[in-house]
Chains A and B, each alone.
Chain A
Amino acid sequence: MNLPILSLMVFLPLLAALLILWVPRGQERIIKMLAMLATGGVLALSILLLFQFRPASAGFQWEEKLPWILPINAWYHLGVDGISLPMIFLTALLSFVAAISSFSIRERLKEYFFLYLLLVMGMLGTFVALDLFLFYIFWEVVLVPMYFLIGIWGGPRREYAAIKFFLYTLAGSVLMLLSILTCYLNSNPHTFSIPALVGQNLSLSHAVQWWVFLGFFIAFAIKVPIFPFHTWLPDAHVEAPAPISVLLAGVLLKMGSYGFLRISFPLMPAVTQSFSVILAILGVINIVYGAFVAMAQTDFKRMVAYSSVSHMGFVLLGFSALTLTGFNGALLEMFNHGVITGGMFFLVGVLYDRSHTRDLNAFGGLGVQMPVYAGFLTFFAMASLGLPGLSGFVSEFMTLLGCFPVHPVATMASVLGLVLGAAYFLLMIQKILLGALNPKWTKLPDIHRVEMGVLLPLMLFILWIGFWPKAALALQSPALSNLLVRLGGNIGW
């Protein structure tokens, strides 16, 4: 492909954002149209990538490599492989869907979409960057628009949530920068390029390798999030406006686990092996602790936020397995969770729009009042708790299956998370949809067509991957297999 598709995809939102700056403030239709064109274009390009991707070929596709800052040997290096492709598609899909959902924003729409498109650019860039310098830049680019999006358009405690998110993530990123510099200085010749560093088989002393891994680990752990670095997540999710929560939960969390797959594991395979047990333990804690705390929530959005913590625990468990099934399950869980929890947050937003409360105990009997919404909510709740036939089950099952031979105790403990997940989601459905209709809500309108249009593509993917996971697995499995070979993992299981 001669056309620089990846650059086009990454910078199309930026172009649209700059164009939006020129649009007069009142012309909301033009602003929305520009945003839809940008995110729609990105989605179309990512679908093109999906169709033209060749899973069997090793290495990166649609590579673009231009010298950038030569004195420090930083290159503008982009590329896609089986690991980044699902993430790119997820970002494109959720950006498009959340942009439609953003039409409900009433004030300062121009600033909102400007920041929104910058955010999309940052997210896409993180997943295609193959140069550590570029990766770090895109990683940081995500923080600033997110800070403003939460801090201006968010809920009552938005300033606190925004600055907590920003400083916490930044603190981790700084440690990552230290690790990047260490890698750079220890490479021969000095390079930031990830494929080159992997090829050089970085010869760091054992202790230094551990410190470098830890530096990356803290940064990614805050993003994933891994207990005990997870407390920014409930606040950020609750206070952010619904479309931004969709992007936060759907994409930003995946940046952390993607970092493990792209950077930590290939660069430091020996430490990865030793870290397997720790990852398993952290995974179990995430799953079970996240599920317990989710069960105690009375705020609907906070409950879904903690369920995200729980689901990311499955990703960690898959990583700790160092088997092909485990890795496949983890990467697939990343995609599925993005789609499912994106849908859940959107549904929370729909309910909040109408009732202006998120208190689970304030609802009741809405199954009669809003039957279509009830159907959607039940569908996404079932997907999230891992009902077979829907995509959540496939990835969670693969993760558990892949991890069982390696860490049987951890896997057994994690299964508790499945039961608890069912418990709190069904509890939520009971409190919201079943029971007597609270007289306050007799005038609540049902979900309307635009909102359904947002959810239907997500439902499509949940069903498709639930019944035919090969569609996704075929794309990602060869790349994961290559990674595992490098890690000395088990590609036979």
Chain B
Amino acid sequence: MGGLWKSMPVTALTFTIAAITMAGIPPFSGFWSKEEILTVAIHFSPAGFPGAGSFFLGLVLAISGLTAFYISRAVILTFFGESRAKAHDRGQPLRAVGSGAASDSRSHESPFVMTGPLMILSLGAIAIGFIGSKWGGHGFQHFLGIGTHPEGSSAIGFASIGVASSGILLALLRYGFKIQILPAGLRAALQPAYQAIHHSYYVDELYEKILINPALSLARAAFRFDQKAVDGAVNGAGQAGLSLSRLKGWFDSVIVDGFVNGVGEVVGWTGGKLRLLQTGLVQNYLLLAFTSAVMLFILMRGIG
């Protein structure tokens, strides 16, 4: 960005107005609310901390100064100065996605749909502050039904303006006229602090490390457990069933059926042996008959 006031003047103007009111420059509205807060801050002394009021006042003033500084920085870097847009962004159409019209990446003013509200809002940014102030008859406080507290001293008002102005001036010097404010050595020494702030105090990285990565690892571990252990048990049961059935199949065909076949074999073997008795030779039959008769005679004789 940079130098955008040329291509989007309305946006630049409304943004600048908003920036001025944020910084707290009267008569823009930001000043009045800041003044209220500063006035109350002085009187804020909780029990046990008598000096707290001035501390808070100092704190709020310092922060107002910082606010003025950073919002001025934003305005200067965005809208003023030289354009810092990258070369390929100037005038190259974006890759068309889907069927949308090819859009030009050269910066341009927004349509009235957006600038209209901006203009209305900046009118508010200028004027609304008056409603709560002395000159507006403290209308806002009456609307809320709260009383107005004692008028702040003009010293506070001037202090606020002074702090805001110095913030704006510093920003102008540093970013507008490019004059380095801090000495080089201090800048180098403060680099780690700058880096930490630049990375939002590494909160995102902390979340990533403490919450997100462990959660994802746990998820993957749970999935592995589900597949290997739980489902493994199921498939194992299935396999056990199959193995058992194969075992029983072996038992049935080898042992039980073997027994059945065995009976057949025994019968066959016995028959084969018994068959030998039938030689077909009459001599053998006569021998057998004679031998049997003799044995029977001896036995009968023996009994009788």
Contacts of A461 in B (CB 8 A): none
Contact B97 A437 (CB under 8 A): yes
Contact A231 B215 (CB under 8 A): no
The answer to whether B220 has its CB under 8 Å from any CB of chain A is yes
Contact B97 A368 (CB under 8 A): yes
State the majority secondary structure of interface residues on B. Answer: helix
The answer to whether A164 has its CB under 8 Å from any CB of chain B is yes
Near A by CB (< 8 A), chain B positions 159-185 give: none
The answer to whether A217 has its CB under 8 Å from any CB of chain B is no
- Could you say which of B22-30, B77-85, B227-235 contacts chain A? B227-235
Indicate whether A293 sits within 8 Å of B223 (C-beta atoms), given known contacts A231-B231, A423-B215, A437-B97: yes
Closest-by-CB residue of A relative to B224 is: A296
The answer to whether A355 has its CB under 8 Å from any CB of chain B is no
Contacts of B231 in A (CB 8 A): 231
The answer to whether B94 has its CB under 8 Å from any CB of chain A is no
Contacts of A369 in B (CB 8 A): 98
CA distance A231 to B229 in the complex (A): 10
CA distance A295 to B218 in the complex (A): 9
Contacts of B218 in A (CB 8 A): 292
The answer to whether B196 has its CB under 8 Å from any CB of chain A is no
Contact A296 B98 (CB under 8 A): no
Contact A292 B219 (CB under 8 A): yes
Contacts of B219 in A (CB 8 A): 292-296
CA distance A297 to B98 in the complex (A): 29
The answer to whether A114 has its CB under 8 Å from any CB of chain B is no
The answer to whether B265 has its CB under 8 Å from any CB of chain A is no
Contacts of A228 in B (CB 8 A): 230, 233
Indicate whether A296 sits within 8 Å of B97 (C-beta atoms), given known contacts A228-B233, A231-B230: no
The answer to whether A289 has its CB under 8 Å from any CB of chain B is yes
Most buried by B among A227, A228, A296: A296
CA distance A231 to B228 in the complex (A): 11
Closest-by-CB residue of B relative to A171 is: B237
Q: State how many residues of chain B have any CB contact under 8 Å with chain A.
A: 15
Contact B226 A168 (CB under 8 A): no
Indicate whether A167 sits within 8 Å of B222 (C-beta atoms), given known contacts A423-B215, A437-B97: no
Contacts of A168 in B (CB 8 A): 234
Contact A296 B238 (CB under 8 A): no
Contact B216 A296 (CB under 8 A): yes
Closest-by-CB residue of B relative to A232 is: B234
Contact A293 B222 (CB under 8 A): yes
CA distance A51 to B98 in the complex (A): 47
- Contact digits for B8-52, partner A, Cβ 8 Å, 1 yes 0 no: 000000000000000000000000000000000000000000000
How far, in Å, is B14 (CB) from chain A's closest CB?
31
Contact A231 B220 (CB under 8 A): no
Contact B230 A167 (CB under 8 A): no
- Contact digits for B250-266, partner A, Cβ 8 Å, 1 yes 0 no: 00000000000000000
Closest-by-CB residue of B relative to A427 is: B216
- Contact digits for B65-99, partner A, Cβ 8 Å, 1 yes 0 no: 00000000000000000000000000000000110
- Contact digits for A261-301, partner B, Cβ 8 Å, 1 yes 0 no: 00000000000000000000000000001001111110000
CA distance A293 to B220 in the complex (A): 7
Contacts of B226 in A (CB 8 A): 231, 289, 293
Most buried by B among A232, A292, A365: A292
Contacts of A437 in B (CB 8 A): 97
Contacts of A423 in B (CB 8 A): 215
CA distance A23 to B11 in the complex (A): 71
How far, in Å, is B256 (CB) from chain A's closest CB?
27
- Contact digits for B206-248, partner A, Cβ 8 Å, 1 yes 0 no: 0000000001101110110010001101100010000000000
CA distance A1 to B97 in the complex (A): 60
CA distance A43 to B299 in the complex (A): 98
CA distance A437 to B97 in the complex (A): 8
Contact A164 B234 (CB under 8 A): yes
CA distance A289 to B230 in the complex (A): 12
How far, in Å, is A258 (CB) from chain B's closest CB?
24
CA distance A290 to B101 in the complex (A): 44
Residues of B within 8 A of A (CB): 97-98, 215-216, 218-220, 222-223, 226, 230-231, 233-234, 238
Enumerate 16 A-B pairs (CB-CB under 8 Å) in ascending A order.
Answer: A164-B234, A164-B238, A168-B234, A227-B230, A228-B233, A230-B230, A231-B234, A292-B215, A292-B218, A292-B219, A293-B223, A293-B226, A296-B223, A368-B97, A368-B98, A369-B98
Residues of A within 8 A of B (CB): 164, 167-168, 227-228, 230-232, 289, 292-297, 365, 368-369, 420, 423, 437
Known: A164-B238, A230-B230, A368-B98. 20 other contacts (CB 8 A): A231-B230, A231-B231, A231-B234, A232-B234, A292-B218, A292-B222, A292-B223, A293-B219, A293-B223, A294-B219, A295-B215, A295-B216, A295-B219, A296-B216, A296-B219, A296-B220, A296-B222, A297-B223, A369-B98, A420-B215
The 7 closest A-B pairs by CB, nearest first: A296-B219, A296-B223, A295-B219, A292-B222, A231-B231, A296-B220, A292-B219
